[in-house]
């Protein structure tokens, strides 16, 4: 009989972790697993793409208000709801992705005695203090406990794994690296749908939620630097920013206040199919301050689109024996501007890096092999089913 596995993610907004969760939901072997999905918020453009055989359980469906604010109250309510789902659906194993989900899955799994596979998607030394503003020390303590009690902790890059072991004081070498896969066939098919028109400009695309760690302010400043020092023999830049987020209005204002020049920045907002813009661009540019394993870079590489990226976190692991990325320094707009100029001046070198990248994706990020490794860990968790201490608290 197939094992019942519950995959957990906050919502189905179009971020990298959400896309990786969707990929796993699609590719899990139905003869081995019956997948279900837990969300804290039933929202996001990827909801409609969840396979029809996947039951969705969302905390937001309860429609209850939390009442007067009490620290930890929402967390306790979410853990209670998740525990109800685990019992009602007779879940055999949990796959929690991102530390937000681990905060819920850890105590609920202890309470219900269900094994877990936890996945770390960003270096927590940087991600947790940046994202969490209150009670960081307490959340770190709870997360450390949850990771130690998981059947297996996975990480999407060696950088994320090493950071997790330091930050949570996990045993050295205890975190297994399974890098994000790419469904090359699907990405290629999406890229062919309604491709945007191209012109003579150097077209760059940046895809990502507009939050501090994604480095959009550095990118805007880099393009502004190019305004004042762009060789006349090179085509002007057209930068397309795909995504939304709390910093969008400030980014738009920052660009609007730049002196006029030959270059253009377009804010396209959220798009359901960014692959067609990635495919039709001269390069994808990723200015992040830190990353786990950037899904958008993997997709660009699979499509043969050159990549400019900062040496941030797991991104550096996307170059092996052959050059695949034109590098810039994180947090340094001058370095980004220099990389853009280098791309514009040497297009054959960019094409060569892209060819190396396509080969690397097929060798090391094949969807079948990566999903198979995750399935083996899930089955091992079900078979071993360690006797976890019953615990009704979430401390």
Boundaries of every domain in the chain: 3-181+367-384, 184-364
380 pLDDT more than 90: yes
Angstrom CA distances, 204 to 10, 82, 187, 251, stand at 30, 42, 19, 17
Residue 274: name the closest of 245, 299, 309, 301 by CA: 299
Say if 3-181+367-384 and 184-364 have the same CATH topology: yes
237-274 as b/e: b if 16+ CB within 10 A: bbbbbbbbeebbeebeebbeebeeeebebebeeebeeb
Could you report the per-residue pLDDT of 10-22, keeping only the tens digit for each? 999 888 899 999 9
Residue 19: name the closest of 211, 238, 182, 249 by CA: 182
Positive or negative: CA dihedral 318, 319, 322, 327: positive
Phi-psi region of 394 (alpha: psi -120 to 50; beta: other; left: phi over 0): alpha
More confident residue, 15 or 180: 180
Assign domain 184-364 to its CATH architecture: 3-Layer(aba) Sandwich (3.40)
Could you report the per-residue pLDDT of 116-164, keeping only the tens digit for each? 999 999 999 988 887 776 778 888 999 999 999 999 999 999 999 999 9
What is the distance between the alpha carbons of residues 349 and 90, in angstroms, rounded to a whole number? 54
H-run or E-run covering 288: none
What is the distance between the alpha carbons of residues 42 and 46, in angstroms, rounded to a whole number? 10
Query: What confidence score (pLDDT) does residue 66 get?
Result: 53
Contact 335, 380 (CB under 8 A): no
Angstrom CA distances, 158 to 275, 280, 286, stand at 27, 31, 19
Assign domain 3-181+367-384 to its CATH architecture: 3-Layer(aba) Sandwich (3.40)
How does residue 71 score in pLDDT terms, banded at 50, 70 and 90? low
- Over range 39-46, report the average pLDDT: 94
287 three-state secondary structure: coil
């Amino acid at each position: 009989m197939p094992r019942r596995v519950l995959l957990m993610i906050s919502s189905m907004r179009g971020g990298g972790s959400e896309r990786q969760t969707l990929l796993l939901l699609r590719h899990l072997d139905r003869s081995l697993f019956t997948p279900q999905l837990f969300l804290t918020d039933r929202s996001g453009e990827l909801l409609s793409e969840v396979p029809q055989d996947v039951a969705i359980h969302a905390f937001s469906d309860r429609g209850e208000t939390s009442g007067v604010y009490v620290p930890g109250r929402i967390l306790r309510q979410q853990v209670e709801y998740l525990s109800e789902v685990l019992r009602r659906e007779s879940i055999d194993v949990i796959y929690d992705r991102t530390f937000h989900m681990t905060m819920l899955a850890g105590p609920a799994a202890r309470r219900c005695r269900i094994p877990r596979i936890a996945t770390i998607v960003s270096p927590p030394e940087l991600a947790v203090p940046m994202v969490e503003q209150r009670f960081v020390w307490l959340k770190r303590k709870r997360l450390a406990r949850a990771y130690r009690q998981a059947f297996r902790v996975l990480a999407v890059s060696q950088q994320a794994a090493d950071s997790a072991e330091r930050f949570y004081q996990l045993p050295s070498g205890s975190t297994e690296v399974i890098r994000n896969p790419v469904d090359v066939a699907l990405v290629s098919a999406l890229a062919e749908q309604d491709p945007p028109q191209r012109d003579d400009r150097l077209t760059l695309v940046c895809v990502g939620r507009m939050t501090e760690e994604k480095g959009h302010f550095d990118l805007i400043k880099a393009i502004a630097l190019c305004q004042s020092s762009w060789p006349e023999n090179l085509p002007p830049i057209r930068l397309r920013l795909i995504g939304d987020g709390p910093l969008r209005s400030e980014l738009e204002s920052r660009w609007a206040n730049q002196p006029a020049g030959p270059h253009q920045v377009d804010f396209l907002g959220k798009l359901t199919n960014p692959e067609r813009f990635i495919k039709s661009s001269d390069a994808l540019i990723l200015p992040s301050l830190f990353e786990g394993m950037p899904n958008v870079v993997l997709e660009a590489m699979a499509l043969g689109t050159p990549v400019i990226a900062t040496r941030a976190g797991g991104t550096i692991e996307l170059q092996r024996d052959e050059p695949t990325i034109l590098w810039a320094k994180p947090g340094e707009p001058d370095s980004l501007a220099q990389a853009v100029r280098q791309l514009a001046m040497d297009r054959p070198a960019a094409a060569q890096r892209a060819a190396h990248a396509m080969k690397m994706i097929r060798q090391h990020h094949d969807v079948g092999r990566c999903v198979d490794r995750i399935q083996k860990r899930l089955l091992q968790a079900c078979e071993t089913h360690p006797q976890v201490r019953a615990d009704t608290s979430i401390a």
